[in-house]
Amino acid sequence: MKSINPSNNQLIREYPEHSHAEVEKIIDDVHSAWLKWRSTTFDFRAQLFRKAAQLLRERKETYARMMSQEMGKIIRESYAEIEKCANGCDYYADNAAKLLQDQVIESDASRSLVVFQPLGVILAVMPWNFPFWQVFRFATTALMAGNAAVLKHASNVPGCALAIEEVFRDAGFPVNVFRTLMIPSDMVAPVVVNPKIAAATLTGSEFAGSQVASLAGKLIKKTVLELGGSDAFIILDNADMEKTVKAAVAGRMVNQGQSCIASKRFIVTESRVAEFEEQVLKAMEKLRIGDPLDSQTDVGPLARQDLVNDIHQQVEKSVSMGATLLLGGKPADRPGFYYLPTILSNVKKGMPVYEQETFGPVLSIIKVKNVDEAIAVANDSEFGLGGCVWTTDLQQGEMVARSVNTGAMFVNGLTKSDPRLPFGGVKKSGYGRELADYGIKEFVNIKTIWIA
């Protein structure tokens, strides 16, 4: 496995892959560890997670630089990601026992209750774009619920994958409660099939999700999928344009646009579209492209060359179909996998940037007549992960939020994940939920106990 620095296309380090025999041995070891781990107390698990949070904060510089070097995230976003992981560890250390406490239910029994018991070893197939947070988002709930885990991380962030295992080990978790599998994608299927794998969760592409889910389904194993997104950023007539433009740039450019919940389709009412285009162009022109380790950099590289090729093809095809190029529209003239911040207006149905997920720094503007058309366009997507609406009329904002078919809608705020709130999508964005009380109950046996 090779770790390549996307800012200069240079090899960072090579890592040996696990063989099939080694993978089987790791799964056996994790299952054996789970048989003991499942009986530990919430207080014991919480103590370990608080130690993990402490280690993440102490090693923030090391882990943040590792992320920025392996996948190109700008360094201030890497710092924030490590802190978010630490906060997640603290949240579930403080709240898991309450979220999973027995529920006494009135029935015809003298006593009836619902209890929540761990399923076993969970396979997590995770992506490269948030290489620490995506894993901790899963691991905090799964392990606090009493499960054990094996991680198949994206092949371009092997250093991050091993560093996460290191955090759990150094925090005092039993050695085999959380293990990283250094395997390519074509070795995932045998892991899913392994009888000691109880369930699987995947964050990634539609194709990868469908492959894992179909195989797990044949074996009657539960899955949770968090897949792509084409989030709508709806700007209504009465939006505060200064705040909206600032949020639009932040929402589109987070992680160089490589986020499933990044704002991608900017749906603007016709009375405000000219104003929005003028102001967002000025804001995007000021963004600084550079080394992701430089604290002054606003835009780093994309994670791989194929991602540059894909986003450029989407832009070129959309322009050929009538979209207007206001800014950028091509790879940056510098070493590494950089793509210029890009704005397309006059985007119409049928264009790639309207129909497909755009995983890069491309802001697509769609003009609509009114709020009803804005809702219709927002819903005119195969995806349904998140979205936001910008308006000074909060009642109108809530109406729009209820009307858009996604797993989350934010009014006057950018879509984000928060341990206190459930996270997930509908349609081709997947199913199931992570985080909050809904997420921590995805990988437990919700058992009824009835006593006469």
- From the CB of residue 90, how many other CB atoms can be counted at a distance below 10 Å? 19
Q: Say whether 275 is catalytic.
A: no
Active site residue 83: no
Alpha-carbon gap, residue 365 to 263, rounded angstroms: 11
Q: What are phi and psi of 136, to 5 degrees?
A: -70, -30
Sheet holding 103-105, edge to edge: 103-105, 111-118, 444-451
Q: Is the backbone of residue 331 left (phi > 0), alpha (psi -120 to 50) or beta?
A: beta
Which entry of 77, 260, 277, 357 is annotated as an active-site residue? 260
* CB within 8 Å of 312: residues ≥ 6 apart: 330, 331, 339
Pick from 347, 332, 270, 346: nearest CA to 300: 332
Write out the two tokens for 142: 């799964």
Indicate the residue type of 217. G
CA atoms within 13 A on the CB side of 63: 27
- Of the candidates 165, 226, 357, 442, the residue annotated as catalytic is 226
CA-CA distance, 358 to 312, in Å (whole number)?
Answer: 10
**Do 122 and 146 form a contact (C-beta atoms < 8 A)?**
no
Closest CA to 130 of 255, 250, 251: 255
Name residues whose C-beta falls within 8 Å of residue 129's C-beta, 6 or more positions apart in sequence.
71, 255, 258, 259, 260, 303
SS3 at position 366? strand
Task: Write out the E strands in 285-432.
Answer: 324-327, 342-345, 362-368, 383-384, 387-390, 410-411, 426-427, 430-431
Q: Which two tokens stand for residue 119?
A: 């399923």
Cα–Cα–Cα angle for 56, 60, 61, nearest 5°? 155
Which phi and psi (to 5°) does residue 274 adopt?
Answer: -65, -40
Q: Is 166 exposed, middle or buried (CB count within 10 Å of its CB: 0-12, 13-18, 19+)?
A: middle
Beta bridge mates, 369: none
In DSSP notation, 114-150 reads EEEEE-SEEEEE--SSSTTHHHHHHHHHHHHTT-EEE
Beta bridge partners of 178: 149
Task: Just list the catalytic residues.
Answer: 226, 260
